[in-house]
Amino acid sequence: MTTTTLHEPELARMARRRAMVPYLLLLPGIAWLLVFFMVPILRLIGVSLQSGVYPNYEFTWQWDNYARLWTTYGSQVWNSLRFAFAATVICLVLAYPLAYFIAFRGGKWKNFLVVMLLMPFLMPFLLRTLSWKIILADEGIVVSTLKTLGVIGPNATLLATSVAVVAGIAYNFLPFMTLPIYVSLEKLDRSLIEAAADLYATPREAFRKVTLPLSMPGVVAGTLLTFIPAVGDYVNVLLLGSPSEFMIGNVIQSRFLVVLDYPVAAALSFTLMTVIVLMLIPYVRATGTDDLVA
């Protein structure tokens, strides 16, 4: 009894030390977020509330900068949302069958197919977009084939249109959609599909009731990884579109690097980020994917 009593303080200290281990392991990540995320965000908010002309800015609580996103650049915001949404839907339609084929039918070629999927990342983003400018050129094979089939008129063009912009965005972000879906399908317990077949479920029913629900975390992750960067994209519009298709990313890029209107550019950036977060939170919760919501 005495020996146990003497060891109680030491056991309590050991328990406290063990309880502190998770928090100590979190310190590097927390420090990283503070230095490279929170500090820049706070700096961005501070700049967005300034006024003046470059380089003479001063902090004046200029809240009017935030209204510019809706009063002045509403059409660019609408372009960003509809182009990003269209590209995300296209990527999902293309990526799910591709990921399904690699996960369930890839066999010994599975790793090779995944590597081939990642091959475009070995080429710079700018060159990948320029390649689409060549593919969709008026003398290119796509336009020529569509004219021959009568799908488009003899004087029609694809470059400098929303079709070209959406095609470029979808191509560039397709791997971001495919990989999360592939990971979800790859780790899926195949015995569940076999159990569905044993219960007389058709392949279509097994896919609808087993495979698709269990792969939803990958679908949600893929749509987030595609939609979020697509909203802020400006390279595809710059090279494949026209000023009428400009997105909010083009406005922010111009305000930062051309006009040098840092306060308005910072306000637009922060407002856009807030709008995207507010839009996506209900989407993630509505899907019921506990892996992401948690």
Give the pLDDT of residue 17.
Answer: 81
| pLDDT of amino acid 239 | 92
Class of domain 69-293: mainly alpha
Both structure tokens of 283: 């989407």
Which residues of the chain are modeled with pLDDT < 70? Answer: 1-7, 288-294
Domains of the chain, residue spans: 2-48, 69-293
- Residue 288's pLDDT is what? 64
| Whole-angstrom distance, CA of residue 174 vs CA of residue 87 | 9
Both tokens assigned to 10: 């030491």
Condensed to tens digits (0 to 9), the pLDDT of residues 80-92 reads 999 999 999 999 9
* Confidence (pTM): 0.85
pLDDT (tens digit, 9 = 90+) per residue, 108-129?
Answer: 898 899 999 888 888 888 888 9
Question: Under a CB-based contact definition with an 8 Å cutoff, are residues 125 and 235 in contact?
Answer: yes
Predicted pLDDT at 168: 93
Q: How many degrees, rounded to 5, is the angle at CA 95 between CA 92 and CA 96?
A: 80
Cα(41)–Cα(39) distance, rounded to whole angstroms? 5
pLDDT at 140: 83
Query: Are 32 and 251 within 8 A, CB to CB?
Result: no
The CA distance from 12 to 47, in Å, is 49
Say what the pLDDT of residue 42 is: 93
Question: What pLDDT does 44 receive?
Answer: 92
Contacts of 111 (CB under 8 A, 6+ apart): none
Q: What is the pLDDT of residue 73?
A: 92
- Distances in Å between the alpha carbon of 202 and those of 53, 191, 197, 208? 67, 15, 7, 10
